[in-house]
Amino acid sequence: MKVAIMGAGMSGLSCAITLEKHGVEPVIFEKRRCVGDRFVNGEATFSMFNRPIGDELKYLKEKHGIHLIPTDVVNKLVVHSKNETSSIDGSLGYLNIRGRHEKSYECQLERQVKTKINFNSDYEYQQLIKDFDYVVLATGDAEYALRLGNFRCDLTCTIKGATVTGEFLTNFPHVWFNYEIIPKGYAWLLPFSETEANLVLAYPDYPDNIKLDLDKMWESFYGLACRQLDQNLKVTDRFEITRYMMGICKNPKINNTYFVGNCFGAMSPGLGFGQFTSVLTGVYAAYDLLNMGSYCELTKPLFENFNHSLALRRFLENLNDSNWDLIVKSLDNKVLDGIVDKVISNKSRIQFLKALLPFMKLWNVFKGSRVK
Ligand SMILES: Cc1cc2nc3c(=O)[nH]c(=O)nc-3n(C[C@H](O)[C@H](O)[C@H](O)COP(=O)(O)OP(=O)(O)OC[C@H]3O[C@@H](n4cnc5c(N)ncnc54)[C@H](O)[C@@H]3O)c2cc1C
């Protein structure tokens, strides 16, 4: 069986590791000159979005033999609204590095792969599908799925971020929901060492938002982050992504082509998490190729998760700054705080988004959202 994997990132490498473990050696094509050849950034995974699975890294290791070492666990998530700041405590997930850093998740996966990776590849899909029995599309964006008429784009978003230096606690990320500065969007501070963190904002490209001045928005947010962290954060690297497509493929597999990672639609529209789903889709595609499971069946819960996350996105957009202040202030209430900490902890099996779905849908209908 000749299998080509297009893209040596989270999903492509997870697919390769699984195939190799069961005796199939794929041919891996990577466009860049090495794995993770892009900006270094901090990312995170939060267990509450991956239920009923509890601890996502333990699950990947024990169930699928994929080993990933994070930079730290998330022990506290500091939440900022326009006028309030509060926190959620407990084992909530993990922080990790991405990109061209030896400890990045993709570099860790590369070390688990035995097959030689063909770097600087300029092969097109059309060529590979002629030369191979199967092609796994793992290129990290929706472009091929879109070209093949296999992608439903639900929204596009703008992302602007920077690596900043300062003093950080490696287990305390921060999140901001401040619509006065980032309308309908959010921002994160994700530390990946005691002195480096990723500061990033993201918002949906709705007509009112497209008119906004991204640089001005960034300056306002950066100033706010410096004030609230009481630090003069120094920017050492920057990145900007505009019109990033968020959506999901219509079919996870068409004939002999598999769509994995962001080609599948791994990035959740709610808050932009996609690493865990990327690894899972890579592993599941390998299981299908090995006759160990059906890709279409295995990915069904991922489609469900995506749709829950889309409802979350609409729900978040239908809140305003006063709603956010109220939510964040409630986290200070001892009883509520205790419940939230328990529900969100990675020990809980409660399917957070599924349980909230009826309420979010009601709220979205009430607010006249386009997606019910
Ligand atoms: C700024 C930003 C922040 C994020 N933060 C988080 C976060 O905090 N938590 C989280 O869970 N998720 C986060 N995500 C999403 C997550 O990073 C992605 O969902 C995940 O990396 C997708 O994995 P992948 O395998 O599809 O793509 P990647 O891991 O990006 O790999 C794609 C690979 O394919 C290669 N490639 C591209 N085109 C070709 C081609 N034609 N031929 C051969 N190779 C090709 C690329 O060079 C790359 O190596 C974030 C995404 C962005 C953009």
- The full DSSP string for 288-337 is HHTTSS-HHHHTHHHHHHHHHHHHHHHHHHT--HHHHHHHHHHTTSHHHH
- Give the C-alpha separation, 251 to 249, whole Å: 5
Establish if 371 belongs to a structural domain. Answer: no
For 51, 75, 216, 256, 336, the CA distances from 339, given in Å and listed in that order, are 17, 16, 38, 47, 5
Residue pair 141/168 in contact (Cβ under 8 Å)? The answer is: no
Establish if 17 belongs to a structural domain. Answer: yes
Q: Cβ < 6 Å from ligand 1: which residues?
A: 6-12, 29-32, 43-45, 106, 121, 138-140, 159, 161, 200, 241, 261-262, 266-267, 272-275, 278
Establish if 11 belongs to a structural domain. Answer: yes
Average pLDDT over residues 304-323: 94
Helix (H, G, I), strand (E, B) or coil at 118: strand
What is the reported pTM?
A: 0.94
- Start-to-end CA distance of the chain, whole Å, equals 44
The number of distinct structural domains making up the chain is 1
Average pLDDT over residues 166-177: 96
Specify the residue with its C-alpha closest to ligand 1, atom 37. Answer: 139
Establish if 240 belongs to a structural domain. Answer: yes
- Give the C-alpha separation, 173 to 329, whole Å: 18
Which of 79, 82, 78, 314 lies closest to 220, judged by CA? 82
Establish if 372 belongs to a structural domain. Answer: no
Tens of pLDDT along 109-128?
999 999 999 999 999 999 99
Establish if 309 belongs to a structural domain. Answer: yes
- Give the C-alpha separation, 74 to 285, whole Å: 30
Establish if 183 belongs to a structural domain. Answer: yes
> How confident is residue 370, by pLDDT bands cut at 50, 70 and 90?
low
The amino acid that residue 253 corresponds to is: K
Please state whether 220 falls in left (phi above 0), alpha (psi between -120 and 50) or beta: alpha
Domain that holds residue 327: 3-366
Q: What distance in angstroms lies between residue 253's CA and the mean position of ligand 1's atoms?
A: 19
Work out the mean pLDDT of the chain and round it to a whole number. 93
Establish if 249 belongs to a structural domain. Answer: yes
